[in-house]
Amino acid sequence: MLTLKLLREHTALVIERLAVKHFDATALIGEIINTDDERKALQTQLDKNLAEQNTIAKQIGMLMREGKKNEAEAAKQQTSALKEQSKIWEQQLAATEKKLDEIIVLLPNLPHATVPPGHTPEDNVVVREGGVKPALPQTLPHWELAAKYDLIDFDMGVKLTGAGFPVYKGQGAKLQRALVSFFLNANTAAGYLEVQPPLMVNEASAFGTGQLPDKEGQMYHVAVDNFYLIPTAEVPVTNIYRDVIFNALELPIKLTAYTPCFRREAGSYGKDVRGLNRLHQFDKVEIVQFQLPENSYRALDEMVAHVEGIIKALELPYRILRLCGGDMSFHSALTYDFEVYSAAQERWLEVSSVSNFESFQANRLKARYRDDQKKTQLVHTLNGSALALPRIVAALVENNQTPEGIRIPAVLQPFIGCEMLFSPSPH
């Protein structure tokens, strides 16, 4: 969330920058500042009240020692009245602080100066493209290839759970495992520490990375324990450093994790959500960084280059987009999306978002560091998919289909143990 200091000292700038995200912040910022003024006034009154109580308490002891019981009794009554007033102000202060907490989180993060001021995905800017779109004489979509080569059973997933929960089988399961291993190896070779976090988080963790109170409808909730199934490894991994104060020399912190991810998606129909295009449960490898503010945008460029290198190694045609203001997430300051080309579907599929949140997440997490003057400052947090598996699998099998089978990219062959996926022998 944005800091009160920023809202007070740079109100006009905040309003101007949030307009790039098509968010009119004028009235809300006014309400936030007025509520904070009310909080400060109540705190001042309460502090004065408590100071007066302390002063009178000392006087009562003195009056009792001097035998002035009547005056001491009057002072006690005055103290009782002050305590009652103090209770009222404490209640009012708690209510005001609660209101302030509830409304300040309604402000999105400020977009970086390089964010294009567009409205829709069509306004995103293509930064660069790579790879070559395959020229295949005849292509099958991945859901047909999954059936032909017995890679994935979508109907079995419906039987076991419901739509959006596929069952990977045989060569399909091995392909999943190969991709996870390849992604994790690439990430750890780049200096990311591998961690294996829980798949459920508590309310504090969901708030820390911004899933609450913004995205309750997208998460699966275990009501009995008040736990949430993670929509991405970003949530538990970033929360490892919630309420932590770093020494500046400890930064950067670079972490990677593989997890299944769970998301409720808005109901929709058609080829755009068929097969692996949109799932409720899917596998993803994530990278997360905690950086000094002055280094975070250099780190973002490095993360983009790292993800690009992984996609290049998979020999997939891809493009990188800088998201416009209208297509950015609530929490991001700058986001790059990666898309790979699906030969059979003849469209681009998003497989990764790499974002710099600057201090927006860190303010919620209370993730800080001590600077040279021993003052605590907020760190910058970044994260990215490296990579989300479903659409990578879709593009891999579609783009590499041949009359003989599905060709396996060279970097995956050591993990799978073969160069080609073949149709199973008839029984």
**For residues 74-91, b (16+ Cβ closer than 10 Å) or e, as one string?**
ebeeebeebeeebeebee
Query: Alpha-carbon torsion 99, 105, 111, 116, what sign?
Result: negative
pLDDT at 126: 98
Q: In 3D, which of 71, 2, 73 has the Cα closest to residue 33?
A: 2
Q: pLDDT per position in the chain (427 positions), as tens?
A: 999 999 999 999 999 999 999 999 999 999 999 999 999 999 999 999 999 988 888 888 888 777 777 888 788 888 888 999 999 999 999 999 999 999 999 999 999 999 999 999 999 999 999 999 998 888 999 999 999 999 999 999 999 999 999 999 999 999 999 999 999 999 999 999 999 999 999 999 999 999 998 777 889 999 999 999 999 999 999 999 999 999 999 999 999 999 999 999 754 455 568 999 999 999 999 999 999 999 999 999 999 999 999 999 999 999 999 999 999 999 999 999 999 999 999 999 999 999 999 999 999 999 999 999 999 999 999 999 999 999 999 999 999 999 999 999 999 999 999 999 998 876 5
Q: In 3D, which of 251, 248, 243, 252 has the Cα closest to residue 373?
A: 248
Residues written for the chain: 427
Specify whether the CB–CB gap between 382 and 253 falls below 8 A: no
Superfamily of domain 121-421: Bira Bifunctional Protein; Domain 2 (3.30.930.10)
The domains of the chain are located at 4-104, 121-421
Give the HSE-up count for residue 390: Cα atoms under 13 Å, Cβ half-sphere.
Answer: 22
Cα(275)–Cα(153) distance, rounded to whole angstroms?
10
Cα(339)–Cα(342) distance, rounded to whole angstroms?
9
pLDDT at 271: 56
Classified as helix, coil or strand, 287 is strand
Q: Position of tokens 């950015």?
A: 328
pLDDT at 273: 80
Measured in Å, how far apart are the chain's first and last C-alpha atoms? 59
Residues paired with residue 336 on neighbouring β-strands, in sequence order: 322, 354
Q: Which fold has domain 4-104?
A: Helix Hairpins (1.10.287)
The first and second tokens of residue 196, run together, are 């294996």
| pTM of this structure | 0.92
Cα(352)–Cα(366) distance, rounded to whole angstroms?
27
Q: In 3D, which of 198, 185, 275, 274 has the Cα closest to residue 229?
A: 198
Q: In 3D, which of 332, 319, 285 has the Cα closest to residue 190?
A: 285
β-pairing verdict for 245-247 and 368-370: parallel
pLDDT at 267: 47
Identify whether 387 is preceded by a cis peptide bond (ω within 30 of 0).
yes
